[in-house]
Amino acid sequence: MSAKDFEREYKREFEGIIPEDELEENEDQTQEEDLKIDEMQKTNKGREFEKVAGKRVVLCGANAYEQKYYFNPIFRQIPDSIKKELNIISVLFTQEAGGIFTIVFEEDGSISIETNADEEDITYDEITAGLLVSEVRRKRQDLFEALGLYYRIYVLHENPADILDSDES
């Protein structure tokens, strides 16, 4: 995506500005889409983010009991390579330690890694889970810092310049 395309997409999503050349095309498409798209799909990314801002939000997680992986669709704009990496981290964690593994955005934009298990699960190893959480945090520190910045800028609407200034001091 070029810088011009990024700027156009940013203005469309967060400032509600639609370029004039797309305005006429969108009017015809919007009338047709209104008949087909339910209310949840019509919400844009900005409105979805506003609903979750100020709360803890699950980014992704894996469940060893149901053998399922979950990625929060609110964050579908995250690049596929990062989504795949999160999937691998989550699934490998549950295969190694068992239980339920989640990556959560805290209210301030920081990331928490959580793991828990059913009380009856005798195969879940708390020591292994704790060591794996520490290892994931250490090895993927850059990834989690980048995701935290993404959340703070796009969900919490913090000024990127202020974030960078506070990190340098």
Beta bridge partner(s), residue 41 = none
Are 89 and 140 within 8 A, CB to CB?
yes
Q: State residue 72's pLDDT score.
A: 92
Residue-wise pLDDT for 2-46, tens only, equals 666 666 665 665 565 666 655 555 555 544 444 443 343 434 444
User: Nearest to residue 62, comparing CAs of 19, 115, 102, 4?
Assistant: 102
Side chain identity at 27, as an amino acid letter? E
Range name among 42-46, 52-56, 100-104, 107-111 with the lowest pLDDT average: 42-46
State the virtual CA torsion across 60, 135, 63, 72 in degrees, nearest 10: 0
Mean pLDDT across the chain:
78
Give the DSSP H or E segment for 62: strand 57-63
The 10 Å Cβ neighbour count of residue 130 is 12
pLDDT at 7: 67
pTM of structure: 0.66
pLDDT tens sequence across 106-139: 988 899 999 999 888 888 888 889 999 999 999 9
Is the confidence at residue 154, as pLDDT, over 60?
yes
Count CA atoms within 13 Å of residue 59 on its CB side: 27
Task: Say how far apart CA 6 and CA 29 lie, in whole Å.
Answer: 22
Domain boundaries, the chain: 3-42, 52-154
Nearest-angstrom CA–CA distance, 22 and 13: 14
